[in-house]
Structure 1
Amino acid sequence: MDTTTEHGVRTVETRDELDDVLATTDRVLAMVRTSGCTICRSMEPILDIAAKATDATVVVFNPKRDLDAVDAFDVRSVPTLLLFVDGTLLDRRADGFVPAEELIEFVESESEPGT
C-alpha cells in the first residue's frame, strides 16, 4: 500500500512498489527502515524537510514483506539511505542520523550513476 505524507514522503511496502516509483521518477531518495528503529523515526522530519527542499521523490521502505530487497540493495543496517537517479542506484549512506542540510546535499549531489 503506497501512502504519502503531507510533505510528499511516500511509504512503499514492496520492492514492486519501489520499482514503480523508480520507473516514473528521475531522482529518488529511499530510506530503508524497520518499525522498531528509533533513529529511523527521528529521521522522519528530516525526510520531510528533504522532500520540500529538493526535487527528489522521498520514499520510506520497510522490507519486512519483501526481504529480497535487503539482498538486492545490500542493506546491512537501518536506516540505510539509497539515492537513485534515473532508476540506477547512485549512492548510499548507512551512518545513522543525518542532519537536514547534509541530507539535502546528499540528495542534490551532481554525480551521475557510474562516476
Structure 2
Amino acid sequence: MTDTRTTDAPTPVRLDTAAALDRFVAAHDRALVEFYTAGCSACGAMEPVLGLVTEETGVPVAFVNPRGDPALIEDYDITRVPTLVVFEDGTPTDRLDDGFVGADRVVELLGYTDLL
C-alpha cells in the first residue's frame, strides 16, 4: 500500500458562527465538519479521530458548536451530536450522526478506501 499521508495536511479548526462555517466550506473543494456540544464525551472522543482522518486524507476538518449560533441547528438539521457533515463545493453531500465512530468509518464516509 502506498503512503498517502501528506506533510501539508490541514490542521482541524474550531469555528464559532454560521458565517465562519460558510467561509470555511467555501475555501475548500471538500471539507468535513463535526457539529458538537460542550460536555459531549462522544464529541470529544472524535477530535483525535478526525485529526487522524485529516492527516491521512488531507481533507480539511472543522469543529462547530451549533449552540453558539442556533441557526446552525435548523440549517443543518442537527438533532444529535456528534454529527459529521461532508461538504463538496460548499454543499452538504453526506452526513453521519451515529455517535462515536472510528477513523475507518469516517474515511469511508469521505469515499476513501484502503487508507487505514
Q: Shorter-chain-normalised TM-score: which range? A: 0.7 to 0.9
Q: Which runs of 5+ in 1 are unaligned?
A: 1-5, 110-115
Residue pair 2:67, 2:73 contacting (<8 A) in 1 also: no
1:53 matched to 2:56: yes
Let me know the Cα RMSD of the aligned residues: 1.5
The change in CA–CA distance for 1:55 and 1:7 in structure 2 (over 3 A counts) is closer
The change in CA–CA distance for 1:19 and 1:84 in structure 2 (over 3 A counts) is same
Residue pair 2:10, 2:60 contacting (<8 A) in 1 also: no
Residue pair 2:15, 2:63 contacting (<8 A) in 1 also: yes
Report what 2:70 is aligned to: 67
Moved over 4 A (4+): none
Counting aligned pairs with the same residue, the percent is 36
Letter in 2 for 1:104: V
Paired residues, number? 104
Displacement of 1:22 in angstroms is 1.0
Displacement of 1:65 in angstroms is 1.9
Distance in 2 (CA, whole Å) between partners of 1:70 and 1:98 is 21
Report what 1:26 is aligned to: 29
Q: Which runs of 5+ in 2 are unaligned?
A: 1-8
